[in-house]
Amino acid sequence: MASINNTQLPSGILVSDQISELDEELTTPEGTALLSTIKNKNTSPKRGIFSFFTLLSSSLIKTTLLLWVVYLTNSFLYYGVVLMTSEFSSWQSKCGALVLHTNQPTDSSLYRNVFITSFAELPGLISSAILVDKVGRKISMVLMYSFGFIFLLPLMFHQNELLTTSLLFGARMCFIGNFKLAGIYCPEIYPTSVRTTGAGVAAAVGKIGGMICPLVAVELVSGCHRMAAIASFEVVIVLSAICVLLFKVETKGRELHDTVDVHN
C-alpha cells in the first residue's frame, strides 16, 4: 500500500488493536508497590500479636481478665445445665434406692425433658434482647445471673420430674441470655484497634468452661453428689455476677472508642 501511494511507512511495529488494548490493561502504572501484598502478609501476624499483648496492657488487663472469667463461667453454666438435664433424668434410678421401679424415669421421659428444656433458648434470647437496651448491659447480666441462681437452688434437693424440668428450663433460659449479653458487651467495651482480637480471645477462653463442666454436671451428679454439683454452679454464678459488677463502664448509649487510652 505504501509503494502504491509512493509514501514511506513510519518506523515501528504494526500490531492489532486488541493486543494493544490488552497491553494497556496489563501495564502496571509507575509507582505501584509491587511488594505490597508480601508486606501485608508479613505484617499481619505481627499486628495480631501486638493486639493480643495490648489486651494485657495496664489500661486493659483488668477488663480483659474479667471478660475471660465471664466467658468461661457462661460456657460452664450453659453447657452444664444442658448436661444436667439428662443426668437428673437418670439420677433417681441410680441414687434413689427407695423409690419404686415404676416411678423411675424412662428413656421417653429423658428425651421429653431434653426436648422441652431446649425450647428455653427462645425466651432467653427474647428477654436478653429486651433487657439489653432497657436497663443496660451490666444490669441485664446481673439480673440473668440472679434468676439463674434462684432456679438452680431448689435442685440441691430431689424434686419431682415436672418441677425439675421447669427449673432447668428457667436456668437454661437465663444462661443462654447471658451468653448473648456478654457477646454484645465484650466488643463494645474494647476500642476498635483491639476489638476483634479481644472478642475472639475471650470466646476462645470461654471454651475452657465447656470442657470443665462435664466434671461437675456429669461426674458429681452421676456419682450421687447432687448437692455438691448444684452448690458448685451457685458459686460460679456468684463469681460471674461479681465480675460483671467490677466492670468500670456501662456501654449502653456510650460512644465507641477507636484507640486505647494509655493514660487510664
Phi, psi dihedrals of residue 208, rounded to the nearest 5°: -65, -40
Cβ pair 234, 84 in contact under 8 A: no
Q: What share of the chain in percent tops pLDDT 90?
A: 35
Q: For 103-159, what is each residue's pLDDT tens digit? A: 455 567 778 888 888 898 999 999 999 998 889 899 999 999 999 999 999 998 888
What is the pLDDT at residue 46?
64
Burial 108-121 (b: 16+ CB within 10 A, else e): eebeebeeebeebb
Q: For 50-95, what is each residue's pLDDT tens digit? A: 777 788 888 889 999 999 999 999 999 999 999 888 887 665 556 6
HEC profile of 98-140: CCCHHHCCCHHHHHHHHHHHHCCHHHHHHHHHHHHHHCCHHHH
Among 34-43, 209-218, 229-238, the least confident range:
34-43
pLDDT grade, residue 37 (50/70/90)? very low
Helix intervals (H) in the chain = 17-26, 36-55, 61-95, 107-118, 121-134, 137-152, 161-189, 195-214, 221-222, 226-245
Mutual angle of helices 61-95 and 161-189, in 10-degree steps: 170
Cβ pair 59, 261 in contact under 8 A: yes
71/65 Cα distance (integer angstroms): 10
27/200 Cα distance (integer angstroms): 41
pTM value is: 0.74
Angle CA(122)–CA(85)–CA(73) in degrees, nearest 5?
Answer: 70
**Can you tell me which residue has the cell 488487663?**
61
CATH of domain 64-95+107-245: 1.20.1250.20
Averaged pLDDT score across all residues of the chain: 80
Closest to 65 measured CA to CA, from 212, 193, 201 = 201
124/170 Cα distance (integer angstroms): 9
Phi, psi dihedrals of residue 118, rounded to the nearest 5°: -65, -25
Residues in the chain: 264
Residue 214: Cβ within 10 Å count: 14
Mutual angle of helices 161-189 and 195-214, in 10-degree steps: 160
